[in-house]
Amino acid sequence: MVKIFDADLVKDHFIINDDGKRALLDTGCPHVINDENKNSIPMGDQYLQDARRDIDPSISEFRGLEYFAQRKVLFDYRRAAIIVADQGDDVSVMHPIAEFAISGLPDRIVFSAGSTIDTELFQNFQVLVDCENRRLVLGKYE
C-alpha cells in the first residue's frame, strides 16, 4: 500500500499527521518512540524530548530507522510530501542522480542540505530510503 502525506517542513525535518499522531520522520534516530514506549527504549525519553524542544513541541511520535526498515520512504522536498510504501510496492525518485549503498541496518542515516546550500536548490531534490534493498537514492527535479 502506498500513502502520500503532506508534510510540514520544520527546520529541514519532515512532520506528518498519520493515524491521529503528529510524527517526525527522521533517519537519524534508530527507533520509533512515543509517550507509551519512551521509557522502555534506551534514551527514548531524551530523544523524544530533544525532538520536541529542538524541532516542534507538538510531535507525538518520533519515527526512526525501525520504521524505515519495514517500508520505503520517499522525502519530496519540492512538494513538501512524504510517500510511504510497503516494501513490495514500487516507489522511485523522479530523475535519479546518485545511489548510495546501505549495508545492514545502521543505527542512523544522516542527510542534510546544510547551511551552505541554497534552500531553493535543495528543494529540487527527492530522497528515497529503501532499507530492504539496502539503498538510498537521490533524485532531482529537472
* The pLDDT of residue 41: 94
Mean pLDDT of the chain: 84
- Helix H segments across the chain? 44-54, 65-68, 119-122
d(CA 24, CA 8): 9
d(CA 120, CA 72): 25
pLDDT average, residue stretch 52-67? 93
> What length does the chain have?
142
* The pLDDT of residue 11: 85
Q: With H, G, I as helix, E, B as strand and everything else as coil, classify residue 91.
A: coil
66: Cα within 13 Å, side-chain hemisphere: 10
Q: Which tens digit of pLDDT belongs to each residue from 73-121?
A: 999 988 899 999 988 888 888 888 888 887 655 555 555 545 444 455 5
pLDDT-above-90 percentage for the chain = 42
pLDDT-above-70 percentage for the chain = 86
* The pLDDT of residue 120: 57
* The pLDDT of residue 107: 53
* Higher per-residue confidence, 98 vs 142: 98
d(CA 84, CA 72): 6
